[in-house]
Amino acid sequence: MNRRDVLCLSLAAGMGAMGKAWAQEDFPNRLMKVVVPYPPGGITDLLGRVLADILAKEFPAKPVIVENKGGGTGTVAQQYILQQPHDGHLLLSGGLGGLILPTILNPNLPIDPQQNFVPVAQLCELMNVLVVGRDVEARTLPELVAYGKTRVGKLNYGSNGVGTLAHFTSVLFNQRAGTHFVHIPYRSSGEIITGLKNGDIQVSFANLPSVAALIRSGSLRAIAVTGAKRSAALPDVPTMQELGMTDFVATGWLGAYAPVGTPQANLDKLSDAIVKGGRMPENIQRLQTAGFEVSVRNHAEFAAWNRSEFARWNELARKENIKPEA
């Protein structure tokens, strides 16, 4: 047993026992926190604030705040929550990009979120859009595939970092299309856009909110979106499935997580509250305005979804040898 396992088991055992004690009283019975593992301003932070507003409305007797705990690729926030009673009063805002893909890329993280957190409820999805620079001749998916196959090793795709959804989706595209676009990792969506405009990269599965305005203005050309259905933000852009790539769906998704050991009754209350709030018109509008697709899953559905997504992307990483230094 390594040091990480000892730490996780100790935290889970001690705080899990405290969680059972808290479950004997009415829940919630004190201040609630939605902990965001990044600084203010990002999509996970926005989700955290929507979650906090939903919980504040559903549980008006107790205050709900958002607390940003950035650092350590999310482990600072995770450890902070694990050191508190495991009773559901502290929730983690996160999803595929922060909790699933990092574990696949690096199984030796200080804290394994798969072993230490349970999914409470999902609130939304965030799809990517396959975009090309204006200098790329291809205007359709078949044209892009043909364009890539005639320029093996000469065309690049950009992502916002190794192990991100944009990276994994691009690897999946190369696998399915038989193309060989070369990976150029960037640090931000802004750098990806600059790379597309300058011709340093030709293709990217970009975060939809970051490029929607550029697509509308004609600065970038959209080929397809990666969702199961078209995006409300770009209704004229088809899905990958519509264009012939069967089962090609790759979306980020976000929700709330609680530490392992949280009493089931508390998880059920939280799940019901988030599902109800996620279906309220004002929250649907708020999420759609920010570029999200509302996709609500309750506790059981979200847990099953986490397991299936982990298995799916882990298999791709294994087959395509995706490594931290790739």
Mean pLDDT, residues 70-92 taken together: 94
State which fold the 127-225 domain adopts: D-Maltodextrin-Binding Protein; domain 2 (3.40.190)
Residue 83 DSSP SS3: coil
User: Of 3.40.50.300, 3.40.640.10, 3.40.190.150, 3.90.226.30, which CATH number belongs to 3-126+252-320?
Assistant: 3.40.190.150
Is residue 42 very low, low, confident or very high in pLDDT (cuts 50, 70, 90)?
confident
For residue 269, the model assigns a pLDDT of 97
Of the candidates 73, 60, 138, which has an alpha carbon nearest to the alpha carbon of residue 103? 73
Do 3-126+252-320 and 127-225 fold alike per CATH?
A: yes
Q: How far apart are CA 41 and CA 53, in angstroms?
A: 16
Mean pLDDT, residues 45-68 taken together: 96
Q: Which residue has the higher pLDDT, 258 or 14?
A: 258
Residue 182, classified by CB atoms within 10 Å of its CB into exposed (0-12), middle (13-18) or buried (19+), is middle
Provide the percentage of residues in the chain whose pLDDT is more than 90: 82
Answer whether the bond into residue 324 is a cis peptide, omega within 30°: no
**Taking the model in full, what pTM does it have?**
0.89
Angle at 70 between CA 257 and CA 299, to 5 degrees: 5
Alpha carbon 63 to chain centroid distance? Answer: 27
Q: How far apart are CA 105 and CA 90, in angstroms?
A: 27
Domain boundaries, the chain: 3-126+252-320, 127-225
Count Cα neighbours of 206 within 13 Å in the Cβ-side half-sphere: 30
